[in-house]
Structure 1
Amino acid sequence: MGRHSRTGPERAGPDTDADAALAKATDEGPEGVRPGPGSGRRRRPAGAESHVSFQQAAHVRGGHPEHREPGGGWGAGPGTGRPADGERPVPRRPMGQARTADRAEKAGRAQGAPASARPAGTKSLIPGPRREFVEAFDTPPTPPTPPPPRGEGGPAAGRGAEGSGGGTGQPEEAEEGKEGRGSKGRTFTGIAAAAVTTVLAVVVAGQVAQDDGASNTARSAGVDRDDTRDASRSDDRPTPTAPRVKPLTYEQKMARAYPLAAKLRGPGKFDSVPGTAKAPGTGHKYRYRIDVEQGLGLDPDLFARAVQETLNDDRSWAHDGAMTFERVSSGDPDFVITLASPGTTADWCRKSGLDTTVDNVSCDSAATERVMINAYRWAQGSATFGPDELFAYRQMLINHEVGHRLGHNHVSCRTPGALAPVMQQQTKSLDIDGVKCRPNAWAHPGR
C-alpha cells in the first residue's frame, strides 16, 4: 500500500517536536526567544529512537539541496536578508531552526500532509523565477508600457504571501514546482535563442563587410563586376566597331562594272539630270542636256560628270580651245545625250535608219535630238578593251557618239600596232582588214 494511503495515529518523533518549536518561534515574531547557537550537529531529545524507519524518513528530491543565486531572475531566497518584490519581510531564523523547518516541510510533502497540517506562516524556501524575467524571452518584444501596480493579485503578491486567505495546500505547491521547472526551461530556451540570434547577426555582418571589402577591392583594381558586360572582355581591349567605308572616288567608280542585262528593255521614259555644268573653255559652245531612262539602276550623277569632263578634256573635241561644252537641265539644248536600255536604244536608233541590235551597240540618232548611249555597254564594257580598261572604254563611247553629232564619220586604223582612231567602231573590233590597232579613247591622243 502506498504511503499516501497509510492510516493510523499521527507520527510522532523528533521532527514533530521541531515543527512545534518552529511554529512557536514564528508566532512569537522577530522579538521571540531564540535558542542559543548549536554545535552544528542535529540533536535528538532524550528517549527518542536512535534510528528512524524508512517509512518515517523525509525524502529529499535529488538527494542534494538546490542552490539558487540570490536576487536576479530567481527572486530573493531564504537567508538573503532582502525580501522579494511585494513580499513582507520574514524574520531571520537561526540556522538550526531553518534546517529543521526545511526538513519538516519536505517530510510533510513526502507524507502527503494536507495544507492544514503544515506550519502556519511558512513559505516556500525555493522561489520560482520572476514572471517578468521569463516573459522577456517567451513573448515577442512589445512597446514599453507602464508596469502594473503592485498589490493584491500581482505576481509578487501571489507568490510571496503564503497562508493568508486560507493558506495553500500540497496540490498548489506541486503546481508551483512544475511552473518553476517549466519557466526555467523556457528561460534557458530564450537565452539560447538570443545567443544563436546574436551569433547569426555577427556572422551576417561579417559576410556583408567582407563582400563590401571585396567589391571595393575589385572596383579599386579596375575590375567591372557588372553582369551586363562580357566577363571575358578587359578594359584595355577596344570595342570593335564597324569599319568605316570610304566612299569611292570618281576614278574608282568609272573603273567598276555594274550589273545590267544585255537584252533589257526599259519603259522608254526619261528623267533629266538636274543642275548645270558651265563650259570651262573658249571656242564654240555647245549646250547639251542629259536624260537617263528610268529603272536602269545606274548612277545618273556619275554619268553626267563623265560626259562633262570627257568632252571638255584637251584630248577630246575641245582640243586647243576649238570648242567647249556646257550642261543644262532645261531650255533648248543643241542635243540630248541619253543613257537608255538596249531595247530603248534600238528603238531610237531605228528612227534614223540604224540597227544597233547587231553587237548591241550605241548610235547617234541624227533624225532626232538624242545621242543614244547603250546602258549595257556603259555598265559592262566590251571585250576589245577588257575589264581592266572600263574607264577608258566609257570615255571612248562618249567621244565616238558625240563625234557623229559633230559631223565625223567612221575611220579605220591604217597602221598596225598604232592607236585606233576614236571614230573607229572599237566596240566591234580593233582588227579591220588585217590591221590590228590598240584601243584609244581620244580624238587627240598624246604621242
Structure 2
Amino acid sequence: MGRHSRKGPAPKGVAAGAGSAPAAGERDAVAASSGTGRRRRTAGPGAAPEPSGYGMPQTRGGHPEHHEAGGGWGDWRGGPPEQSAQGGQRLRTQPPHPTAGGTRVPGPRREYLEAFDRDQSGREPYAAVTDWDTGHGRPPEIAADTEADALADDEEQSGGEPSARTSKGRTFTGIAAAAVTTVLAVVVAGQVTADDPGAIGAQSTGEERQAQERPDRSEGRATPPQAGRAAAPTYQQLMARQFPIDPKLEASGEFEAVPGFEKAPGEGRKIRYRVDVEKGLGLDGGLFAKAIHETLNDDRSWAHDGEMTFERISSGEAKFVITLASPGTTAVWCAKSGLDTTVDNVSCDSASTERVMINAFRWAQGAETYGDDAMLPYRQMLINHEVGHRLGHNHVNCSTPGALAPVMQQQTKTLEAGGVKCRANPWVHPGE
C-alpha cells in the first residue's frame, strides 16, 4: 500500500525531513488564520465529519489529491499537514499564503517557476504547440475553471489583491484559449478547402475518368453519320453527273499533263498514252484520266481478249495524247487535220497531230441520243470512239433495226442511219 493512502499519523520520515511539528496551539492558529477560502474550511464543534476514502480527504470531483513531499508543491517545512476532525491526516488542496506572523508555508519550487518562465519566454524548438501544463494535464476548458476558483480563493485570502500565481494563471489561460482558437481555425480551413471549387473540379475530373473507364452501353453499335458531312461521291456517282459549261467556251489553249502513272493491267500489246487538260477549263482532270484508263482496259473495249493493254504516263514518249479541251480549242486542233467540229460541237482525232481531242462541252453535258440519265455510258462511248480512230478504225453505221449501234457510229449526232434506227452502245465488244 502506498504511503499516501495509509491511515494514521504521518510517516516519521516526513516529520524528520520537514523539521519539528508545531505545537497544538500553533496549529490552531494556522488553521484560524485570516481568509475565507473554501478549501481550508475546518469542521467546527459538533459538525459532521468530512467524508473520506481510506483516510484521505476528498477534493473537487470526488478524487483525492496526492501531494508528494519534495514535488512541485515544495517541502512542508512550515509544519505538518493539517489534521482532520477525526484525527487523520488531511493534505492541503492548495498551498496557503504567508500569514501576518511570518509563518513559513509551502509554495511552488523555484525551479518549477523558472520552468514556466522559460516556457513563456523561449519554448524548445520541438515542443508541442498546445500545452496543457496549466491544468496539470487537463484540457484548457477544465484548467480555466480551476484557475477561476483559485483566483477567487486568492482574492479572499489577500483582501482582493491578485497574487503572482493569479497573474500566471491568467497568462496560461490566455495560452490555452489561443490554442483552442488555433484548432478551430484549422478545422474551418479544412472545411473551406473541402468547399473549394478546385477540389470539386478535381473530384469531377476523377468521376469523369471513372466514367471513361467504364464500358459504354453503345459500344459496338454503328455510329450514325454526322449531319452536314456527307460521304465522298464514288467514281460511278461522279461519272453519272453533268457539269456546267458554256458550249462556246474558248479557254487558254495551254495544256498540262495529269500527274501520275497507271500501269497497263493486261499482257497484250502495250500502248502508252498521256492525258492533258487545258488550263482554266474548270473540270476535274483526275476524274477524266481515271475514266480513260478504266474504259480502255475494260475487256469490252479495245483491250478485249488481251489483244492490247493501255498504260498511262505523265512524261516521256507516248503513242498519243488524249486531250480535254474547250469547244473553241478543240475546233482549232481539229482544223489542223481538216476536220470541222463547230457544226455539232463534237470531238475528233486530229490525226496530223499527237492529240485525240475530247470536246469538254460533250464531256460535261453529254448528248440527246443518250439523255441526261446516261452520262457514264456516253463518256465511255466518246473515249472508245475517238481512240478507235487513232487505232485506225473509220465510221461504221447501224444495219439492223433495233440492234446495238456500232461504237464507231457517230452516236453523238444520231442513232439512225439510212432509215435504220439502233440503240445506244458504248462498247467495242458489248457482249451480245
8 Å contact from structure 1 (residues 281, 323) kept in 2: yes
Going from structure 1 to structure 2, the CA distance change for 1:203 and 1:405 (only over 3 Å counts) comes to closer
1:183 corresponding residue in structure 2:
168
8 Å contact from structure 1 (residues 83, 90) kept in 2: no
Mean CA deviation greater in 229-238 or 366-375: 229-238
Please tell me the residue identity of whatever aligns with 1:89: R
- What SS does structure 2 have at the residue aligned with 1:445? coil
User: Scaled by the length of structure 2, what TM-score is found?
Assistant: 0.54
- Give how far 1:437 is off: 3.1
Match of residue 92, structure 1, among 65, 80, 105? 80
8 Å contact from structure 1 (residues 362, 372) kept in 2: yes
- Give how far 1:349 is off: 2.4
2:148 corresponding residue in structure 1:
none
- What SS does structure 2 have at the residue aligned with 1:177? coil
Larger Rg: 1
8 Å contact from structure 1 (residues 137, 191) kept in 2: no
- Give how far 1:370 is off: 1.2
2:101 corresponding residue in structure 1:
119
In the TM superposition, what whole-angstrom CA distance separates every residue of 1:274-310 from its partner, at most 9, and x where no partner exists?
Answer: 5474594657x76543323345565656544543453
1:49 corresponding residue in structure 2:
none
8 Å contact from structure 1 (residues 384, 430) kept in 2: yes
Please tell me the residue identity of whatever aligns with 2:215: D
- Give how far 1:398 is off: 1.0
- Give how far 1:393 is off: 1.7
Going from structure 1 to structure 2, the CA distance change for 1:136 and 1:391 (only over 3 Å counts) comes to farther
Match of residue 348, structure 2, among 363, 375, 378? 363
8 Å contact from structure 1 (residues 412, 432) kept in 2: yes
8 Å contact from structure 2 (residues 322, 357) kept in 1: yes
8 Å contact from structure 1 (residues 276, 329) kept in 2: no
8 Å contact from structure 2 (residues 73, 106) kept in 1: no
- Give how far 1:184 is off: 2.7
Going from structure 1 to structure 2, the CA distance change for 1:185 and 1:419 (only over 3 Å counts) comes to same
Provide structure 1 residue ranges, at least 5 long, that are not aligned to the other structure. Answer: 1-28, 45-56, 97-105, 110-114, 146-169, 209-222
8 Å contact from structure 1 (residues 255, 389) kept in 2: no
- What SS does structure 1 have at the residue aligned with 2:276? strand
2:334 corresponding residue in structure 1:
349
Match of residue 437, structure 1, among 419, 422, 427? 422
In the TM superposition, what whole-angstrom CA distance separates every residue of 1:348-393 from its partner, at most 9, and x where no partner exists?
Answer: 2233444444554322223422110123433454454345533322
Q: 1:86 & 1:125 partners in 2: Cα distance? A: 5
1:236 corresponding residue in structure 2:
216
User: Scaled by the length of structure 1, what TM-score is found?
Assistant: 0.53
1:60 corresponding residue in structure 2:
36
- State yes or no: 1:422 paired with 2:407: yes
Q: 2:320 & 2:21 partners in 1: Cα distance? A: 152
Provide structure 2 residue ranges, at least 5 long, that are not aligned to the other structure. Answer: 1-17, 43-56, 85-95, 128-154, 194-202
- What SS does structure 1 have at the residue aligned with 2:80? coil
8 Å contact from structure 1 (residues 83, 89) kept in 2: no
1:143 corresponding residue in structure 2:
125
- Give how far 1:400 is off: 1.4
8 Å contact from structure 1 (residues 341, 374) kept in 2: yes
Q: 2:224 & 2:116 partners in 1: Cα distance? A: 72
Q: 1:205 & 1:329 partners in 2: Cα distance? A: 76
Mean CA deviation greater in 398-407 or 374-383: 374-383
8 Å contact from structure 2 (residues 334, 341) kept in 1: yes
TM alignment of 1:387-426, pairs within 5 A: 388-426=373-411
Q: 1:131 & 1:33 partners in 2: Cα distance? A: 28
Going from structure 1 to structure 2, the CA distance change for 1:89 and 1:320 (only over 3 Å counts) comes to closer
Match of residue 246, structure 2, among 251, 259, 262? 262
Please tell me the residue identity of whatever aligns with 1:336: V
RMSD of Structure 2 on Structure 1 (CA):
5.9
Please tell me the residue identity of whatever aligns with 1:34: A
Aligned residues: 341
- What SS does structure 1 have at the residue aligned with 2:357? strand
1:52 corresponding residue in structure 2:
none
8 Å contact from structure 1 (residues 290, 336) kept in 2: yes
TM alignment of 1:159-198, pairs within 5 A: 177-191=162-176, 194=179
Please tell me the residue identity of whatever aligns with 2:332: D
TM alignment of 1:293-332, pairs within 5 A: 293-296=278-281, 300=285, 303-317=288-302
Please tell me the residue identity of whatever aligns with 1:236: D
Q: 1:446 & 1:200 partners in 2: Cα distance? A: 96
Q: 1:388 & 1:247 partners in 2: Cα distance? A: 21
